[in-house]
């Protein structure tokens, strides 16, 4: 069992090593004059016959010579590449530090490329230096990683645990899934699978394994795989590893899940303390003293403080900035009022553009996660299309140089056109009601918004616009025609509508 060590404490040599044996020191230990050993990191002291190191549960990485790390290329200076490895300083990588690299055959690296390398030198006064070859000038799996996959961070002790020969996590996952993984001692992991869904599952499972002891890893992995594949979860395993929080009065499910996760982490911490202090005297006594002070404090918080917070939780109000007078309230020659209204218009357009961008990102993520079945994405697609239509109605065809007066005049003309063509508006309302009814019954009619028409085909139905950008790229799709009589003719003449529909390129999404 290990001993808890704080920075600055002197460390006695391992009792199993002889007086003349050379003691190897590892991470978190520094050798002073007179062969004295002192700790530089807080953690648990581990030792073998000829080696001592400190197991540190930290997220900040301090480079050590010989560490295998994952880094991101951030730039180039002369013949050196700057690589971010998560330390206080950027590391440097020479273009000759690759297998088969020469002055004529240089590797091609771009900003953002992911590198798997080894630290070959560290110092307090200079930046770390990396290399993608070993002593025999062989890559041995190091170099530029392929494009794609999932890149995420884990605590340093989790990374060391994953690459340990005693770890069963990756071996057990390899029996059910095919994946490639690169783990750096700087707490960065690169993972690639055939399916995005499997990528997300393996990433979340690795992050959850931080608080599971090694002896419980097989049961934990088996339960997670059964849950992922849709099998029924055993009740014993569910209560052991997946703590379900109770919902207190007035408390949301999200807050209850967060408190349940905090409670599981706290119990895992005390379980680790219990295991590490077994078979010792002073650490065991300190464990019981700390547990004695923690027990009443935890009971008071869980039984009194948290229920009161859930019951008397104040509502959250989104901040709403005070608005200036609109353009229709400004006088003809009131320049100050026009300036304020125009700035308000630009702010509203920027906010609406970012909202539309977020909705589009939701659609992209949903379609990427659920492909080839897009039925679960009906709600996000509907929200995005409605927002895109409203954005076009308000800002479309105005161009990037339009101001609040142009938008005001466009709205006036639109209202006049709707009053002059009530039959077109009635037909639109009827089709919209039918579409909503189909959506409520689980039928997604994507052609209602796009009509199977591509952007390249729509330029045939409107005046040429190749020489100027008639609207911002954020404003969604362009209309079929700028002529208001086009829509009226389509609604009244079925043959004309069929002829125009036949000209368009159709590609059903569902």
Q: Do 337 and 384 belong together in one domain? A: yes
Contact yes or no for 201/228 (Cβ under 8 A) = yes
Q: Do 82 and 226 belong together in one domain? A: no
CA distances to 172, 177, 201, 235, 265 from 225, rounded to whole Å, are 10, 10, 9, 15, 21
Tokens of 408: 């005001």
Q: Do 301 and 220 belong together in one domain? A: no
Ranges in the chain, pLDDT < 50? 232-250, 452-478, 507-510
- Give the pLDDT confidence score for residue 16 in this predicted structure: 57
Whether 347 is in a domain gets the answer yes
Q: Do 296 and 339 belong together in one domain? A: no
Concatenated DSSP letters for 121-165?
Answer: E--SSS--EEESS-TTS--TT-EEPPS-SEEEE--HHHHHHHTST
Q: Do 125 and 89 belong together in one domain? A: yes
Of 195, 150, 147, nearest to 372 by C-alpha is 195
Long-range contacts made by residues 201-207, C-beta under 8 angstroms, separation at least 24? 201/228, 202/173, 202/177, 203/150, 203/152, 205/173, 206/154, 206/158, 206/162, 206/169, 207/152, 207/154
> What is the helix (H) or strand (E) element at residue 30, kind and residue range?
strand 29-31
- Give the pLDDT confidence score for residue 462 in this predicted structure: 45
Whether 319 is in a domain gets the answer no
CA distances to 418, 453, 456, 497 from 487, rounded to whole Å, are 12, 15, 20, 9
Contact yes or no for 91/119 (Cβ under 8 A) = yes
Whether 509 is in a domain gets the answer no
How far apart CA 462 and CA 471 sit, in angstroms, is 14
Task: Report the CATH number that the domain containing residue 46 is assigned in CATH.
Answer: 2.40.50.100
Q: Do 138 and 156 belong together in one domain? A: no
**Per-residue DSSP letter, 60:** -
Question: What is the dihedral angle through the alpha carbons of 366, 369, 375, 377, rounded to the nearest 10 degrees?
Answer: -10
Q: Do 74 and 123 belong together in one domain? A: yes
Find the distance separating the first CA and the last CA of the chain, reported in whole Å.
59
The residues facing 71 across adjacent strands are: 115
Concatenated DSSP letters for 176-227?
Answer: T--EEEEE-TTSEEEEEESSHHHHHHHHHHHHHGGGS-GGGHHHHHHHHHHH
Tokens of 117: 């390398």
Q: Do 224 and 272 belong together in one domain? A: no
Q: Buried (b) or exposed (e) across 397-413, using 16+ Cβ within 10 A? A: ebeeebebeebbebeee
- Give the pLDDT confidence score for residue 450 in this predicted structure: 58
Whether 247 is in a domain gets the answer no
Measured from the Cβ of residue 372, the count of other Cβ atoms closer than 10 Å reads 6
Chain segment 446-464, per-residue pLDDT in tens: 667 655 433 334 444 444 4
Concatenated DSSP letters for 325-384?
Answer: PPGGGS-TT-HHHHHHHHHHHHHHHHHHHHHHHHHHHHHHHHHHHHTT--GGGHHHHHHH
Contact yes or no for 158/44 (Cβ under 8 A) = no
Q: Do 113 and 135 belong together in one domain? A: yes
Q: Do 114 and 190 belong together in one domain? A: no
The residues facing 94 across adjacent strands are: 80
Whether 316 is in a domain gets the answer no
Task: Report the CATH number that the domain containing residue 203 is assigned in CATH.
Answer: 3.30.1370.10
Number of folded domains that form the chain? 5
Q: Containing domain of residue 49, as a range?
A: 3-55
Secondary-structure breakdown of the chain: helix, strand, coil percentages, each rounded to the nearest 5: 45, 15, 40
Of 510, 509, 487, nearest to 500 by C-alpha is 487
Whether 248 is in a domain gets the answer no
Contact yes or no for 156/58 (Cβ under 8 A) = yes
Does the pTM surpass 0.85? The reply is no
Burial of 144 (0-12, 13-18, 19+ CB in 10 A): middle
Tokens 């408190």 map to which residue?
259
- Give the pLDDT confidence score for residue 483 in this predicted structure: 61
Tokens 């209560």 map to which residue?
239
Domain-terminating residue out of 218, 241, 264: 241
Whether 317 is in a domain gets the answer no
Of 145, 127, 123, nearest to 81 by C-alpha is 127
Tokens 């590892």 map to which residue?
26
Domain-terminating residue out of 211, 241, 271: 241
Q: Do 471 and 391 belong together in one domain? A: yes
Whether 62 is in a domain gets the answer no
Q: Do 401 and 487 belong together in one domain? A: yes
């Amino acid at each position: 069992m290990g001993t808890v060590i704080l920075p600055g404490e002197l460390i006695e040599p391992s009792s199993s090593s002889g007086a003349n044996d050379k003691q190897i020191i590892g991470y978190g230990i520094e050798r002073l004059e007179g062969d004295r050993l002192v700790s530089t990191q807080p953690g648990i002291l581990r030792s073998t016959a000829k080696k001592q190191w400190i197991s540190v549960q930290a997220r900040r990485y301090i480079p050590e010579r010989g560490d295998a790390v994952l880094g991101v290329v951030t730039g180039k200076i002369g013949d050196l590449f700057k690589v971010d490895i998560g330390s206080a300083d950027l590391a440097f990588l020479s273009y000759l530090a690759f297998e088969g690299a020469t002055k004529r055959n240089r590797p091609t690296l771009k900003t953002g490329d992911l590198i798997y390398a080894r630290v070959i030198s560290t110092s307090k006064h200079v930046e770390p230096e990396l290399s993608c070859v070993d002593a025999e000038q062989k890559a041995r799996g190091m170099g530029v990683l392929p494009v794609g996959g999932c890149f995420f961070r884990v605590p340093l002790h989790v990374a060391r645990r994953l690459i340990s020969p005693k770890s069963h996590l990756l071996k057990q996952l390899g029996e059910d899934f095919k994946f490639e993984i690169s783990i750096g001692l700087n707490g960065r992991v690169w993972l690639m699978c055939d399916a995005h869904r499997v990528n997300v599952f393996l990433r979340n499972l690795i992050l959850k394994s931080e608080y599971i002891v090694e002896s419980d890893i097989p049961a934990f992995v088996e339960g997670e795989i059964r849950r992922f594949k849709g099998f029924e979860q055993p009740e014993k395993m569910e209560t052991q590893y997946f703590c379900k929080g109770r919902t207190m009065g007035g408390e949301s499910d999200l807050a209850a899940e967060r408190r349940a996760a905090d409670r599981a982490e706290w119990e895992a911490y005390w379980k680790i303390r219990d295991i590490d202090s077994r078979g010792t005297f002073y650490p065991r006594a300190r464990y019981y003293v700390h547990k004695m002070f923690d027990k009443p404090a935890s009971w008071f918080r869980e039984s009194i403080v948290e229920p009161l917070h859930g019951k008397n939780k104040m509502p959250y109000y989104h901040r709403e900035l005070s608005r200036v007078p609109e353009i229709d309230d400004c006088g003809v020659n009131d320049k100050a009022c026009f300036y304020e209204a125009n700035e308000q218009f630009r702010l509203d357009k920027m906010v609406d553009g970012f909202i539309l961008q977020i909705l589009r990102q939701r659609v992209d993520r949903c379609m990427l996660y659920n492909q080839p079945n897009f039925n679960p994405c009906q709600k996000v697609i509907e929200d995005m299309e409605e927002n895109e239509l409203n954005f076009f109605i308000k800002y479309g065809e105005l161009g990037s140089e339009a101001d609040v007066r142009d938008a005001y005049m466009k709205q006036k003309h639109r209202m006049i056109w709707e009053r002059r063509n009530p039959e077109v508006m009635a037909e639109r309302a009827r089709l919209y009601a039918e579409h909503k009814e189909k959506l409520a019954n689980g039928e997604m009619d994507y052609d209602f918004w796009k009509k199977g028409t591509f952007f390249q085909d729509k330029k045939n139905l409107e005046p040429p616009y190749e020489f100027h950008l008639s609207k911002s790229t954020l404003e969604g799709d362009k209309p079929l025609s700028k002529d208001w009589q086009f829509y009226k003719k389509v609604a009244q003449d079925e043959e004309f509508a069929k002829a125009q529909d036949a000209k368009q390129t159709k590609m059903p999404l569902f």
